[in-house]
Amino acid sequence: MALRVPAAVAVALTGVALAQAPGVAPDVRDVLTRQLRFSAAELADLQRGRIVKHGLDAVAPGEIAVVGAVRINVPKAVFLDRVRDIVRFKRDPNVLQVGRFSATPTLADVEALSVGEDDFDARDCRVGDCSVRLSAEAIRRLPQEVDLKAPGAQARAAAWFKQMLVDDVAAYLSGGPGRMQQYDDGPRPIRPVDEFDGILKNAPSIGALIPDLPDYLKHYPSSHLADPEDFLYWSKEKFGASPFITVTHVTIVCASAETCVMTTKDVYSSRYLDASLGLSIATDVAGVPDAFILVYGNRFRANALKGGWSALRRSVVERRARGGLEESLKTIKSQLEGDRR
């Protein structure tokens, strides 16, 4: 699973008492130690330049949470600017395609998105059994709006799917009707909004530095937040047996000149994910003008991790999530520092 945004926190730790650690603001230290559960040994390793990572508690069925951190020797402004250039930031062998939505989404925004049979097999899509996440209403509309038996059916179905994606994003941005509230592609309905609310409830770190941020994410776009920067992007990524197409909402907001928070919220995933929420916190390293520490946490739910053999599946997926998180942090550090040389 690809890293969905940045996070950084200033840490100048010794391996002894955290309360006496120089350069760590009390509110940032509380997030690191209380909500994100970094130990004194991990924070000492972080100060030495090592990547640290671990799992977080997730009591809900099908939920997994991981967090990691690394020191990067560039100003945090460089990192934030790179994230705004999401197409460049997401460049990775596992990210097949990526694009940013306009403030008013149009089909032109997803022109570069390819939708083949591996992504969406329209001729074998029915309520309770479809290769992508769709509502029952959308699945019933599909054969009425696309002649699935005529030549060129796949191309027309791909265009239909992309229009559905644009309409769903437009409804999300406006807060108006039209957004899919339930996925009916499998034997059990999935309500992504409810799954996200559950994730948000299990992630107190989201509001630790920006108290209004959880309500903003939960009720977007009707809730207020001081000076947020928002954008949405789509990506097609390798994950599991087939790639998946996802839409992500990025929010950047700064608590102070030294500390910025970024979240990445899953708006739509064509398969695998029921909901996902990433948190990044960025604070300059005290006394070091050209360095920051990137802390990134991700909490997600997947229907496949529920039911029989779920404990085994969870352990495998969590291990892979930690490994993927470490690789992502290593890549971000290498690219940002390499560009500065």
In this predicted model, what pLDDT tens digit does every residue of 275-333 receive, in sequence order? 999 999 887 888 888 989 899 999 999 887 876 556 667 777 888 889 999 999 999 99
For the segment 59-67, the average pLDDT, to the nearest whole number, is: 90
For the segment 221-232, the average pLDDT, to the nearest whole number, is: 96
What is the per-residue pLDDT for 257? 87
What is the per-residue pLDDT for 12? 29
Strand partners, 236: 97, 245
> Over pLDDT 90: what percentage of the chain?
70
pLDDT in tens, 117-127: 999 999 999 99
What is the per-residue pLDDT for 336? 94
Q: At 30, which helix (H) or strand (E)?
A: helix 26-30
Per-chain mean pLDDT for the chain: 88
pTM: 0.90
- Residue 276 to residues 6, 73, 177, 215, Cα–Cα distance (Å): 15, 29, 22, 16
Residue 152 φ/ψ region, left for φ over 0, alpha for ψ in the -120 to 50 degree band, beta for the rest: left
What is the per-residue pLDDT for 10? 30
pLDDT band at 253 (very low <50, low <70, confident <90, very high): very high
- Of 20-24, 78-82, 159-163, 246-250, the range with the lowest mean pLDDT is 20-24
CA neighbours within 13 Å on the CB side: how many for 340?
17
Taking each helix axis as running N to C, give the angle between helix 76-84 and helix 310-340, from 0 to 180 degrees, rounded to the nearest 10. 110
Domains and their CATH numbers in the chain:
18-102+231-340 (3.30.530.20)
In this model, does residue 77 exceed pLDDT 80? yes
Report the distance separating Cα 233 and Cα 98, nearest Å: 7
Of residues 63 and 21, more confidently modeled: 63
